Amino acid sequence: MANDIDTLLPALERALRDESDPQTWMNQEKADLIRWAIADLWPRVSREIDQTATANKITLVAGTYFYALPAGVLAVSRVDYVDGQSNEAGPLAPGSWEVTGDPLAATSTAKLHIAPSVAEAGGSLRLIGYGRYDLVTGASGNLIPDELVPLVLATARAEAYRRMGSDRARFEAWLTRNQVENISINELVILINEADSEAERLWRRHKKWQRPVPARHP
């Protein structure tokens, strides 16, 4: 089953016991919490890009030394060179490339800066690096794997409880719908802390280290 919003939203609603006729959190708010929880995975938990995908290759042009990073690529750890006859030549030497600009900007300004000697040789480059997960479906999407679902739901649930705890009207609406859990605001704080603790435990389990970047300015 794809971990898109149609799957994750009902799962969060079950965790919050807010499955029908929502009054405490609107559906759009819960969807936003899921989206932000997934975005917040970066960079502690990152997605390795598919270096074999055509979209993650850069064709070199003589006289051009700056190339926009492919969509979805936020960090580059290695750049492999492929000559004009499609022969693999291995990674470029440290100092022959660097990433400039801001890959996190609304309109990314990140570019791969290549040494002139590399660009003039022609051929293409294959990028090895990392990107974010998202909620986009289809070929261009990068949905989270099943093992990250508990972490995303725990993060979103903790934030939902915090919002409820700061809004008395929301808290009373939630109590009305959950009579079996008619709790005080102090007990709600315990729920928030428990959700935070679960999220932190899952963070420790899923943290991934990115490969170091050896590049220096050409």
* Range of weakest confidence among 104-113, 120-129, 151-160, 206-215: 206-215
**pLDDT over 60 (residue 79):** yes
148 vs 25: which has the higher pLDDT: 148
For residue 31, what are its two tokens? Answer: 């969807």
Average pLDDT, the chain: 84
How far apart (Å, rounded) are the C-alpha atoms in residues 17 and 121? 61
* Range of weakest confidence among 75-84, 99-108, 121-130, 152-161: 99-108
**pLDDT over 60 (residue 93):** yes
**pLDDT of the residue at 217:** 42
**pLDDT over 50 (residue 216):** no
> How far lies 171's CA from each of 11, 79, 127, 168, 175, in Å?
21, 52, 49, 5, 6
**pLDDT over 70 (residue 178):** no
How far apart (Å, rounded) are the C-alpha atoms in residues 115 and 48? 25
How far apart (Å, rounded) are the C-alpha atoms in residues 79 and 97? 8
**pLDDT of the residue at 196:** 82
40 vs 176: which has the higher pLDDT: 40
pLDDT in tens, 188-208: 677 778 888 888 888 777 666
- Is the pTM here over 0.85, yes or no? no
| Segment (H or E) for 209 | none
Q: Is residue 127 within 8 Å of residue 70, measured between CB atoms?
A: yes
Give the highest mean pLDDT range of 42-46, 146-150, 211-215. Answer: 146-150
> Which residue type does 116 have?
P
**pLDDT over 80 (residue 181):** no
* Range of weakest confidence among 30-44, 87-101, 165-179: 165-179
User: Cα dihedral angle (60, 66, 67, 73), rounded to 10 degrees?
Assistant: 130
| Segment (H or E) for 145 | none
201 vs 187: which has the higher pLDDT: 201
